Amino acid sequence: MNNKIILDVKDIPKPSQWLTLSLQHLFAMFGSTILVPYLVGLSPAIALISSGLGTLAFLLITKMQVPAYLGSSFAFIAPVIAAKAAGGPGAAMVGTFLAGLVYGLVALVISKAGHRWIMNLLPPVVVGPVIIVIGLALSGTAVSMAMNNPAGKYSMLHFSAALVTLAATIIFTIYAKKMLSIIPILAGIIIGYLYSLIIGIVDFSPVLKAHWFEMPDFIIPFVSYKVKFSWDLVALMVPVAVVTLSEHIGHQLVLSKVVGRDYIKEPGLHRSILGDGTATLISSLIGGPPKTTYGENIGVLAITRIYSVYVIAGAAVFAIIFGFVGKITALISTIPTPVMGGVSILLFGIIASSGLRMLVDSKIDFANNRNLVISSVILVIGIGGAIVKLPFHIEIQGMALAAIIGVLLNLILPGKPVADENMFEVEASDGKKTA
C-alpha cells in the first residue's frame, strides 16, 4: 500500500488543484452539517457560514498545524431543541455560548495541569454508554420524520421516500469506493430527493422565489433577542460538553495517526480544545449550532493523503460563500422531511452503535460489576428521560443527567482503572458517523 504523503500540512496546493481538493472536503461535511440545523429548526445557511468561520478560527488557534474541519455537532441536538422549546432561538444560542465557554475553561486547565486528568475523567465505560444514549434518545424523532406527512399523519407515500433514502444511504455506506464512501449521507439525500421529485412531494417554489445572493437571518445577541442567563440552560447544555470533549480527544488521537504527528503534545490538546470552543462561541453569536471536529474530513485526509491546512481553509471559505447563495439555501429547504428522516434512522443508529463499538473495542469487562453498574445507570437514566429538579427552577434531564451521574459513579466507585491515552481511538475511527 502506498502511504506516501502527497501534500503535507503546510504545503500549498497548485491553484488548479486547490478548488477540487477543497470542494471534496466541503461535500464530505455538507450532509451532516445541514442535517443538524434542519432537525433543530435553525438556518442551514448560518450553519454553513458558522462552520466555515469556526474552522478558520480553529486553524489559526492551532497555529496552522491541525488539518481539521468543524461542522455541526449531533450531540447537542436534543439540548438545543429543549432550549428552543423553553426560551426560543435566543435561549439555544445562550446555551451554545455557555458550552463554548466550558471548552475554554477546560483548555485553560489543560494548559496549566496537563491532559491526563481529563482522560481519567472520561473513560470509555462512561463515554460509550452516553454516546449510545445520544443515538437512541433521538430514534423517535427520526422515525416520526420518516413516517409522517407535513400534517403529522402517517403517510405510506412519504414513508416510501424515507425508505428509499435509507436504502440508498446503506448501499453507499457499504459498497461505495473512494470519495463516495466518504459522503454516503449526502449521496443518500440526493437519491431520496430525486425519488421525492418523482412522487411529487417536493415544492420548488422557494427556489424560484430566492435570489442568488441573500443575507441569511442571523440571530444576533442583544439585536435579535434579549440575552437571559439561567441555571436551567447551564444544566441543559454544559454537561453535553462531557461527551463532545471526549469526541474531540478521540479525533485528535486518530488525526495524529493519520497525519503522523502528535497533536496532543504539539500544538497541544489545550489549543485544539480552545479552537473547538471558539468555533462554538462564534456559532452562538450568529445563530448556528454548536461545532465539533468532523470524522468525515479525517477520512478524506486518510484516503487522499493530502493533509494541507490550506485545503481545509479553502473548504471553509466555500462554506461561507455557499451560506450567502440564496438559491442553495432555498434548495436545502425543499428537501422533504421524510428524506431527512430516512438518513437519520441510519445516522442515529450508527451514533448508538459507535458507542457500543467503543465499549467492545476498549475491552470493557461487563463481568466486572463496576462497569455493569455505570453503563446500566447511564443507559436507563438517559434513554428514560429522567429529570432532577433542583432549587431556583433548575432542571437536569436526559443525556445531561446521565453524563453527570456516569462521571460521578466512575469517580466514586472503587476499582477505577488507570487511563490510557489510546482509549478513545475506536470512537474516533467511527467519528465520521458521530459528528
DSSP one-letter string for 335-372: S-HHHHHHHHHHHHHHHHHHHHHHHHHTT--TTSHHHH
Instruction: Please give the Cα distance from 207 to 328 (Å, whole number).
Output: 8
DSSP one-letter string for 222-253: TTTB-----HHHHHHHGGGHHHHHHHHHHHHH
Residue 46 near residue 37, CB atoms below 8 Å = yes
Single-letter amino acid code for the residue at 338:
P
Query: Exposed, middle or buried, 156 (CB in 10 Å: 0-12/13-18/19+)?
Result: exposed
Using the Cα atoms of residue 6, residue 11, residue 16 and residue 20 in order, give the sign of their dihedral: positive
Instruction: Please give the Cα distance from 89 to 80 (Å, whole number).
Output: 9
Instruction: Please give the Cα distance from 70 to 275 (Å, whole number).
Output: 10
Residue 310 near residue 243, CB atoms below 8 Å = no
DSSP one-letter string for 59-79: HHHTTT-----EEE-GGGHHH
Instruction: Please give the Cα distance from 56 to 29 (Å, whole number).
Output: 15
Cα of 206 vs its chain's centroid, Å: 28
pLDDT in tens, the chain (435 residues): 456 888 899 999 888 889 888 987 888 788 788 888 988 889 999 999 999 999 999 999 999 999 999 999 988 888 898 889 888 899 999 999 999 999 999 999 999 988 888 878 888 898 889 888 888 887 888 899 899 988 889 999 999 999 999 999 899 888 887 667 667 877 888 899 999 999 999 888 888 888 899 899 899 999 999 998 888 888 888 888 877 887 788 788 878 888 889 898 899 999 999 999 999 999 999 999 999 998 778 878 887 788 999 999 999 999 999 999 989 888 888 889 899 889 888 888 887 887 888 888 888 999 999 999 999 999 999 998 888 887 766 777 777 788 889 999 999 998 887 655 554 443 333 343 333
Global pTM value: 0.80
Give CA torsion, residues 212, 16, 256, 134, to 10 deg. 20
pLDDT at 206: 85
Instruction: Please give the Cα distance from 19 to 26 (Å, whole number).
Output: 10
Q: What angle do CA 161, 162, 168 make, to 5 degrees?
A: 90
pLDDT at 320: 96
Of 56, 434, 78, the C-alpha closest to 248 is 434
Cell numbers placing 2: 502506498
Of 263, 227, 281, the C-alpha closest to 100 is 281
Q: What is the CA radius of gyration of the chain?
A: 21
Using the Cα atoms of residue 40, residue 45, residue 51 and residue 54 in order, give the sign of their dihedral: negative
